[in-house]
Amino acid sequence: MGTDLHKPLGQGERRRPRRVMTFSWRAIGSFAGVSIVLGLSLFSALTPLPLRDSTPNLTSSAAPSREAAGEITRQVTDGAGLAATRPAAGANVERTVTDNGTVVTKYSPKARGNSGPLLIDTPRVGQDPRMAGTPNDHLLEDSPQGRLPTVGPDGLRPIDQYARPWSGARGTRIAIVVGGLGLSQTGTQRAIRELPGEITFAFAATGNSLQRWMQEARRDGHEILLQVPLEPFDYPGNDPGPGTLLTTAKPDTNMANLHQAMASITNYTGIMNYMGGRFLADANALEPVMRDIGKRGLLFFDDGSSARSLSGQIAKAIGMPQAFADTQIDGQLDQQAILHRLDELERVALRKGSAIGVGSAFDETIDAVRQWSEEASRRGIEIVAISALAENPQP
């Protein structure tokens, strides 16, 4: 009482209403439904389902029916009960009834007849990138001049082994060949370091450290050619270098010089001319050389510098792989002029479906090709190696 005297009238202690738990029929139904679903799920997970046997009853005396996969046959095995064998798609299914009534199912491969699918084992085009700098010994033969390229015992050609793979798409394709590698150490290093792997490199047979440069280029993904010096119209005033093939030389001498150049390097897909306007226009001098190149499984790439060249006609006549350049991209040694020539090359490719450009390993050429190739790829142009655009009759 004493404690309530100081409280204002009408503000006594309020009592909290007692909460009464009520359940609605809807809540009870929902709880029951969830409980039933959880119970059935748990039961299904813990109870193994019986496997359904779709084969006819083996103990039935009725004749077996024919199924889409084949006719069911019966056979009796010693002490193992009744067995049924049914050919299935790709497999034979054999079910055996044991003495205690257990059915044992056995699957075995189905024998394929001549009407089955034909599997074709196609050879891999191109060299494994991990071994790109290592020559295939089966594609080399010994000679007095050194190891020369040759067709392997299984018919594999160097053009197939050392080719750079491409997508195979039917889009616009352009090949760019940069030659003169090996003549200048700085130019060769810069070309290998800065140009993308899609660019084809041509190494001059008279260059230095060719095998080392070849290995670096191949490991970076480049396809390579070998440039062989051929006699120009103004020879000897304009001399391509030692070992030049001459129209006045005997065929044996030219062949020895050709093999000497071939032995200077490995892992190339073909031969490219270095100069050679007069030699390329002389059928008597050119044909034996072309035949030797072709029988070794190599292509011949003509840089297009001579309008009187007979290389294309001879290559078609003897059935060897060959390619011909559409444009020389660095006739004017200026980066902007080279970019303009590359744009012209692209227009040729858009019209014909493909085109080939050729240049040398000058600083201006390297800069222009690097810039243009990046832009062309974004425009949907596929830059491929020279072997992808060569006319390549199969042996």
Q: Are 174 and 350 in contact (CB under 8 A)?
A: no
pLDDT tens digits, 288-305: 999 999 999 999 999 999
Match 């790709």 to its residue by tokens. 90
CB 126 within 8 A of CB 224: no
pTM: 0.69
| Per-residue CA distances from 297 to 224, 228, 251, 314 (Å) | 15, 17, 20, 16
- Which range in 27-36, 76-85, 176-185 is most confidently predicted, on average pLDDT? 176-185
3-state secondary structure of 206: coil
The CATH label, of 3.20.20.370, 3.90.930.12, 3.20.20.70, 3.20.20.450, for the domain at 132-388 is: 3.20.20.370
> Per-residue confidence at 77, pLDDT binned at 50, 70, 90?
very low
What is the enclosing helix (H) or strand (E) of 257? helix 251-262
What is the domain partition of the chain in residue ranges?
A: 67-109, 132-388
What angle, 0 to 180 degrees and rounded to 10, lies between the N-to-C axes of helices 210-219 and 185-194?
10
Mean pLDDT of 206-235: 96
Angstrom distances, CA of residue 21 to CA of 14, 26, 169, 225: 22, 15, 75, 92
- What gap in Å lies between CA 279 and CA 233, rounded to an integer? 8
**What mean pLDDT value characterizes the chain?**
82
Reading the block at residue 10, the tokens are 């009408």
Nearest to 178 by CA among 208, 210, 200, 206: 200
Confidence band, pLDDT 50/70/90 cuts, at residue 105: confident
Cβ atoms of 287 and 313 within 8 Å: the answer is: no
Which band of pLDDT confidence, cut at 50, 70 and 90, is reported for residue 233? very high
User: What is the average per-residue pLDDT within 106-110?
Assistant: 66
